[in-house]
């Protein structure tokens, strides 16, 4: 029997239909593997085609291996078939953790 191991999925990806309003929430839990007392603040790379929010905007860790959760919300209405790309970056001022956001705007048909 194969046992699945936990995987860190840094990319946020979804397919949405053109000309249809969407609101997608991606939840993630991260584990502190750095310094015990560290605070990471998020920066959102803007994309004029979508609205992106992250809650909370700051993750403060007090211990090694401590877990924190956050939610990335992406909403909008893109009028044509395309790929929308953006990202978020968590930074403690020294270390940066980038997570791409990729939206495939298509009907799913070839």
pLDDT at 12: 94
pLDDT of residue 71: 96
Question: 60: which strand partners?
Answer: 39
DSSP run (H or E) holding 21: none
Q: Would you state the pLDDT for residue 2?
A: 44
- Residue 73 burial (10 A CB sphere; 0-12, 13-18, 19+): middle
Please give the model's pTM, rounded to 2 decimal places.
Answer: 0.86
User: What is the residue-level pLDDT of the chain in tens, covering all 110 positions?
Assistant: 444 444 456 799 999 999 999 999 999 999 988 888 999 999 999 999 999 999 999 999 999 999 999 999 999 999 888 899 999 999 999 989 899 999 999 876 64
Instruction: Please name which of 46, 44, 22, 9 lies closest in space to residue 105, comparing C-alpha atoms.
Output: 22
């Amino acid at each position: 029997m194969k046992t699945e191991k936990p995987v860190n999925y840094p990319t946020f990806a979804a397919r949405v239909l053109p000309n249809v309003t969407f609101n997608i929430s991606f939840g993630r839990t991260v584990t502190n593997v750095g310094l015990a007392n560290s605070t990471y603040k998020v920066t959102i790379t803007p994309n004029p085609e979508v609205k992106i929010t992250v809650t909370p905007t700051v993750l403060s860790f007090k211990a090694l291996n401590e877990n924190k959760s956050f939610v990335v919300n992406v909403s909008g209405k893109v009028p044509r078939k395309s790929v929308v790309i953006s990202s978020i970056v968590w930074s403690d001022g020294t270390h940066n953790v980038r997570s791409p956001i990729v939206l495939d705007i298509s009907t799913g048909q070839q």
